[in-house]
Amino acid sequence: MQSFNPPVRTLMGPGPSDIHPRVLAAMARPTIGHLDPEFIGMMDEIKELLKYAFQTENELTMPVSAPGSAGMETCFVNLVEPGDKVIVGINGVFGMRMKENIERFGGEAIVVADDWGTAVTPAKVEEACKNNPDAKIVAFVHAETSTGARSDAQAICKIAQDNGCLTIVDAVTSLGGIELKVDDWGIDAIYSGTQKCLSCVPGISPISFSEKALDVVRNRKTKVPSWFLDLNLVIGYWGGGAKRAYHHTAPVNALYALHESLVMLKEEGLENTWARHAEMHEMFKAGLQEMGMEFVVPEDQRLPELNSVWIPQGFDDAEIRGKLLSEYNLEIGAGLGDFAGKVWRIGLMGDSARKEKVLFCLAALKAVLNK
Amino acid sequence: MQSFNPPVRTLMGPGPSDIHPRVLAAMARPTIGHLDPEFIGMMDEIKELLKYAFQTENELTMPVSAPGSAGMETCFVNLVEPGDKVIVGINGVFGMRMKENIERFGGEAIVVADDWGTAVTPAKVEEACKNNPDAKIVAFVHAETSTGARSDAQAICKIAQDNGCLTIVDAVTSLGGIELKVDDWGIDAIYSGTQKCLSCVPGISPISFSEKALDVVRNRKTKVPSWFLDLNLVIGYWGGGAKRAYHHTAPVNALYALHESLVMLKEEGLENTWARHAEMHEMFKAGLQEMGMEFVVPEDQRLPELNSVWIPQGFDDAEIRGKLLSEYNLEIGAGLGDFAGKVWRIGLMGDSARKEKVLFCLAALKAVLNK
């Protein structure tokens, strides 16, 4: 067997997005120890940069050493105890995954259902809160990666707070792509991924916990049913202070990459990044409309960074995506779950949200669809 | 904030070990999608190469997308159900962590205790099996990273089998460093890490499950209390067959690195790699003895790849390690738990098990200890 030399693709699916050469170069720097003082200094910088990205002062803001699904699990496994009632908005695959999490940790999921391709309806969440005054948590997905719908995180968190609930927010596809303000909006626990709008390699999940959420973790009646994700332990390594206790071996080089992508985010400025994603979406939308293609999500609930479009009649899903990949080295995403075979998901995230890529993607689509 | 440029260290602690430039270069290759056919082809190669490294035909042989601790958790969370009795050998930190895992998943841990710095005693395991005919699993650490002791995995697995127990084996520090034969020894579930004798970047945990173990997972009475690590789901992505279902986003670039390090293992040949680790240990031992330094572990239970030595009288642990790091860019490991402040752990693993590094380490130790 030989070394693997991947083809050079343009990644415009639901993630991973294209990685900037600076981030790839950072990955390849020499590995040092996970307790090396130089490494610990870099960890502190990552925490500061993540606070900026999340717009929070939360002391517990750090990257989980595993992909976004593990970030989700970190939130639920630490905050949900057997018997806890959790109101969960479901409008796509990742809301469903939240429900799986709640139930696996012994919680009771109160489902607030919305159609795929639409946002979570705040009024329905409010009704669920009123009907379940003993609910402990409200959980929902800010940017539903399976559909491209954007929910009003600020409104839903306000409702949760007014009803005495903690909030768990999935920001896997929103962090760095659209406005997100953890402190202003009163989010208690949030997780994201590195391979979407941060344009870093996949495998790491940034999280942030408010003091209130952390108090709940500290005062659990039962032990967290995970050793690897128990924040009471992880804090000993990622928490403040000069003395870091070994918990697990951090993914050193992946964290170099995350550091570099966050430095680049800071250089561009969060508001500029959000504006770039919005601008690229407008450019893409104009091109799609010229081709007569239609969005799945109503305009006012649409994510700029993840565009779900109906597959035009007469075209075969796999065949077209196959052609784009083999003839154009262009990856776009298939539909998930109910949308499989019906929808394409086209991501304009991070370093893929650039004019040259948007225009290329439009041109390639035009060519394979003979538009 | 600026890009992070790590110093170039020689890593001779308990891991991460030095990474070969070929592996670092592989890391930095362009990211492609986790469902790209080219990536899936590489995943299949990784599975084949891991089967070779583990010496197994187990179909479920794959890398977990998180560090070794998550590999440990994958074994326990899938195999232990509430009320299950698990016999666990404890002779250091990682046996203790196994006990934590067992208890967090509702199991009952039957502890077989041995002194730190010695192997797990097979006769004690046998006695525990006889006293607990209803035990379901025997778990132990093959190469105890906290002490440098090597347990007789073959003998212990034989005892477990004779008594109708499944086995869970921690091979984090043994895989690629010493003889390990999953099928011949009848190991049912095993996990390792990438950052030890494979000399790959930290963050991934190779595992292998026998058909018997997998049947137990498939026929659980309760759902696995983890969505991220539930092998019933993970198999849909890593399992055989052309059609892979999305489970989580794989750490694409870290898997490029793992692939490259496994290709290098195959090129050298497993037996040659084991022999190199043994040879480097002999060279290191001779140098240490010349300096009058003493090993913690009796010779017949000693791991070649991880050398625990007593800190010579009159020297301060942190001061000496600090000097080695700042003046020689050399990392050696501190003692863990009971051994903190008393012991140094010096790793000769993977690409750190090379003459040039062994001789340099000896010379640097000699200099800072004025020997």
Quickly count: other Cβ atoms within 10 Å of residue A180's Cβ.
Answer: 26
User: Does A72 score more than 90 pLDDT?
Assistant: yes
Which of A5, A224, A226 should we substitute to test contact with B (largest number of B Cβ atoms within 10 Å)?
A226
DSSP at A350: G
Q: Is A242 on the interface with B (CB under 8 A)?
A: no
**Average pLDDT over chain B, rounded to an integer:** 97
Check if the beta carbon of residue B288 is closer than 8 Å to that of residue B362: yes
User: Does B11 score more than 80 pLDDT?
Assistant: yes
Check if the beta carbon of residue B140 is closer than 8 Å to that of residue B109: no
Q: What are phi and psi of B190, to 5 degrees?
A: -145, 145
pLDDT at A103: 98
pLDDT band for position B266 (50/70/90)? very high
**Which of B33, B45, B39, B97 lies closest to B71, judged by CA?**
B97
Residue among A5, A18, A33 minimizing CB distance to B331:
A33
A263–B2 C-beta distance less than 8 A: yes
- In the 3-class helix/strand/coil scheme, how is B289-350 assigned residue by residue? HHCCCCECCCHHHECCCEEEEECCCCCCHHHHHHHHHHHHCEEEEECCHHHCCCEEEEECCH
- Chain A residue numbers touching B231 (CB-CB < 8 A): none
Whose structure tokens read 């009704």? A127
- Chain A residue numbers touching B237 (CB-CB < 8 A): none
Q: Is A266 on the interface with B (CB under 8 A)?
A: yes
What domains does chain B contain, in order, with CATH numbers? 10-16+270-369 (3.90.1150.10), 21-266 (3.40.640.10)
User: Does A243 score more than 90 pLDDT?
Assistant: no
pLDDT band for position B261 (50/70/90)? very high
Nearest CA in chain B to A224: B104
Gap between the terminal Cα atoms of chain B:
43
Task: State pTM to two decimals.
Answer: 0.98
User: Does A164 score more than 80 pLDDT?
Assistant: yes
Q: Is B66 on the interface with A (CB under 8 A)?
A: yes
Q: How far apart are CA A359 and CA A370, in angstroms?
A: 16
Q: Is A1 on the interface with B (CB under 8 A)?
A: yes
Q: How far apart are CA B238 and CA B225, in angstroms?
A: 20
Quickly count: other Cβ atoms within 10 Å of residue A38's Cβ.
Answer: 15
Report CA torsion sign: A134, A135, A137, A143: negative
Q: How far apart are CA B11 and CA B33, in angstroms?
A: 32
B225–A225 C-beta distance less than 8 A: yes
Q: Is A77 on the interface with B (CB under 8 A)?
A: yes
At A112-162, the pLDDT tens digits run 999 999 999 999 999 999 999 999 999 999 999 999 999 999 999 999 999
Whose structure tokens read 């329905």? A124
Count of CA atoms in the C-beta half-sphere (13 A) of A107 = 27
pLDDT at A232: 95
Question: A30 to chain B nearest CA, in Å?
Answer: 6
pLDDT at A1: 86
Check if the beta carbon of residue B13 is closer than 8 Å to that of residue B345: yes
- Degrees, nearest 5: CA angle A29-A33-A36: 105
Q: What is the ipTM of this complex?
A: 0.97
Contacts of A295 (CB under 8 A, 6+ apart): A148, A285, A288, A302, A307, A308, A309, A310
User: Does B343 score more than 90 pLDDT?
Assistant: yes
Residue B368 in tokens: 């800072």
Residue A166 in tokens: 């903690």
Whose structure tokens read 């992505």? B237
B309 φ/ψ sector (left φ>0, alpha ψ -120 to 50, else beta): beta
Residue A126 in tokens: 């409010």
- Residue by residue, DSSP assigns B54-72 as HT---SEEEEESS-HHHHH
> Mapping DSSP to helix (H, G, I), strand (E, B) and coil, where does residue B284 land?
helix
Question: A118 to chain B nearest CA, in Å?
Answer: 22
Q: Determine what percent of chain B is predicted with pLDDT higher than 90.
A: 96
Which H/E stretch holds residue B111? Answer: strand B108-113
- Chain B residue numbers touching A7 (CB-CB < 8 A): 30, 32, 38
Residue B58 in tokens: 């187990």
User: Does A2 score more than 80 pLDDT?
Assistant: yes
Residue B119 in tokens: 């192997």
Q: How far apart are CA A69 and CA A73, in angstroms?
A: 6
pLDDT at B239: 85
Q: What are phi and psi of B97, to 5 degrees?
A: -65, -35
A286: exposed, middle or buried (Cβ count in 10 Å: 0-12, 13-18, 19+): exposed
A69–B259 C-beta distance less than 8 A: no
**Which of B69, B64, B59 lies closest to B209, judged by CA?**
B59
**Which of A189, A145, A191, A206 lies closest to A17, judged by CA?**
A145
A270-279 long-range CB contacts below 8 Å, 24 or more apart?
A270/A52, A270/A53, A270/A55, A270/A176, A273/A176, A273/A177, A273/A197, A274/A177, A274/A178, A274/A179, A276/A353, A277/A177, A277/A178, A277/A197, A277/A304, A277/A305, A277/A348, A277/A349, A277/A353, A278/A178, A278/A304
